Structure 1
Amino acid sequence: MSAPQAPQAETSTVLEGIVAGVLEDLAARQAVTTELDLRAALDDVAAPLDPMPGFRAAASSVIAEVKRKSPSKGELADIPDPAALAAQYAAGGAGAISVLTERRRFNGSLEDLRAVRSAVDVPLLRKDFIVTEYQLLEARAAGADLALLIVASLPGDQLARLHDFARELGLTVLVEVHDEEETERAVEVGAELIGVNARNLKTLEVHPDTFGRLAPLVPADRVLVAESGIGGPADVQRYVDEGARVVLVGEALVKDGAPRDAVAAMTGLVKG
């Protein structure tokens, strides 16, 4: 496997710092578990689940996130049992469940992903800062069905290479964009599932108008996911009206005392 490329110079210092930490932690894991070990582990993993039929339905789907903390908000929720939370999401009708696996800024882990996989039978997204093929192998070996690729952290041909490798593994790829140039790149690599993140990676501020600005740049045969700044059904409805089929929600759900009901309230909304 080729060495990961450094993020583009214009990428936010926040993102650069996160990716630097991710690579340090990755090196430690690679010293223990080789690529060959991961490939061997794939033989014992069930075939990946396909979330796209549900995501392509006319009504809104929710990717419900297991998320303990974030760089912008700090500690969000104490989640001692991610599997139990995921079970609540699944009972509420989540179309998929996202599990943060980045350790330093989000307090997540691959162990969380494995625990959730053992508890639910809905598609799982590995939410992390993936910049190498090794991480995609880790995702599949841990039972993930989807993987996140953030365009801002993948310069040159790295996005296309990782997108193609993920598809070879059977993973559905959520390609995340933040501006017009990134959206164009996502479309060009053939991304079927494109997430528009309203959070500015340079300031960590949320700009809800980002989705409406970028959505028209995405062909109608792709599926759009709205990310960040979603507090409840009213926000979901706004994004659905602007073309979202799917919403990815973390903070609002982990803080809600009734996550099952919260997911259900955001699911099944149609254009007004």
Structure 2
Amino acid sequence: MTILDKIIAQKRKELVELINLPLLKEVEKPVPTFKEQVASSSNMSIIAEIKRASPSKGAIDLTVDPIEQAKTYEGNGAAAISVLTDETFFNGSLNDLHAVRKAVDLPVLCKDFIIDTLQIDHARAAGATIILLIVAALDDEKLKELYDYATNLGLEVLVEVHDEVEMERALAIQPEIIGINNRNLKTFEVNLATTEKLASYITNPNTILISESGMRVRQDVERVGKVGAEAILVGETLMRSDDLNATFSEMQIPLSKGSEQHAR
């Protein structure tokens, strides 16, 4: 059984409890869409993640104040904030997301393993403006059902893939935002060649490509930028950074909207 299998099994258990949990009070504060953020920037857009722990790395920063971290990210030019809301494996919560949404004026991604519309309802109520759908965790019918449900609620959806088969499945629903995760969900090894290999599948100039995992230094960002990534999702590197201002500056590389870049 892979770690993804274990996480999905846990999510199925949590759904039983989620039915009886009241929705959090919605945050009535407009923020730009992620698409608008990317369109308005000539540099690599950064989705900055709040991540206390992970199955592969263990504890990263268990004492982080999500509000202060999010404000620091915003102050350094993050295009969006990602909040890990899984409790069992990542030590996060929807309360973290709720607090972050109230604290910043940026799009907020609910980073979780969503397998049911009920989770989308809770994410939206907590303040998510973007949700994550992991193709590896869903069959085609459920992927389309959840995508349509979320977009009909006005949410943006980051559709995440790890290989060619998942990319083909993702493209079938014509998503506006595709994330290529460089981390192998079975081995948890990270390889930026995954973005390089899969980027060419995206031929729609209006589709935003995000490269996820493995962004440590400027050269990593330049590498995925060359094949069309307009945004990166960065968690551990930011959570461990001693100088967030310097780390952001290093990663906000200018994007050439030329032939190699699939410009909008």
- Unaligned stretches of 5+ residues in structure 2: none
Aligned positions of 1:123-202 closer than 5 A: 123-202=107-186
CA contact under 8 A between 1:92 and 1:261: conserved in structure 2?
no
Match of 2:227 among 242, 245, 257: 242
Task: Say if 2:221 and 2:253, in contact at 8 Å, map to a contact too.
Answer: no
Alignment of 1:44-123 (within 5 A): 45-47=28-30, 49-56=32-39, 57-123=41-107
Alpha-carbon deviations, 1:143-169, whole Å to 9, x = none? 111000000001131111100111011
2-structure distance, mates of 1:46, 1:118: 8
Q: Where does residue 5 of structure 2 map in the other structure?
A: 16
Offset at residue 58 of structure 1 (A): 4.1
Q: What amino acid is aligned across from residue 195 of structure 2 in structure 1?
A: F
Q: Which whole-Å deviations, capped at 9, do the CAs of 1:15-67 have from their partners, x for residues lacking one?
A: 1101111222232122233xxx57xx55x644563110222344210000000
How far the C-alpha of 1:267 sits from its partner, in A, is 1.8
Amino acid at match of 2:237: A
Gaps of 5+ in 1: 1-11
Matches within 5 A, 1:29-44: 29-33=18-22
SS at match of 1:157: helix
CA distance in 2, matches of 1:245, 1:138: 29
The runs of at least 4 consecutive aligned structure 1 residues that moved more than 3 Å come to 44-49
- Asked whether the equivalents of residues 177 and 196 of structure 1 are also in contact (C-alpha less than 8 Å), the reply is yes
Pairwise CA distance, 1:202? 1.1
2:212 is aligned with 1:227: yes
| Deviation by residue 1:195-222 (Cα, 9 ceiling, x = unmatched) | 0001111111112100010000012321
TM-score (norm 1): 0.88
Residue aligning to 1:207: 191
TM-score normalised by structure 2 residue count: 0.91
